[in-house]
Structure 1
């Protein structure tokens, strides 16, 4: 089954909106995204993936990913 959120219904896209808020710590609203380099994006990605998450039992997403990858 596929689910599509309605346009302008941010409450239907909780994870997406939360991630956008986290990215705003690094890239302020209104920033020209063409000026953001791939190296900067990798740095932001690493910072977000090493941030502990409550939904993962306060473990880091990068650690959980490695554990699941090894189990597969």
Structure 2
């Protein structure tokens, strides 16, 4: 089975040229070496008011990538619970285990670490975690 790879900018511009030349979606897919459903999904998912354009499609893809950053699935109140427990001298491993045991929240300790290092406002929390013995990566 083939591994999934996203379309590149070059492939999008190639698709644009072939589409302008009148090629059908199946022929475009064959030419650029992807499945025809990939081409169909690309045209459907990334079109704007003036149709599908490669630059706009790439920008829409980039915006989706930025929006899917780690930890976005947890609400602010979930992070407040995590931060409160860390302030009580618990390590991220202990926090994750406690929340799982209490069936409050299912979150991994690695996600907690990533949140702490990414959060600019978490200086106090970061210092607390580092004081427990975890180094900044």
Query: TM-score, normalization: structure 2?
Result: 0.20
Larger helix proportion, structure 1 or 2? 2
TM-score, reference length from structure 1: 0.29
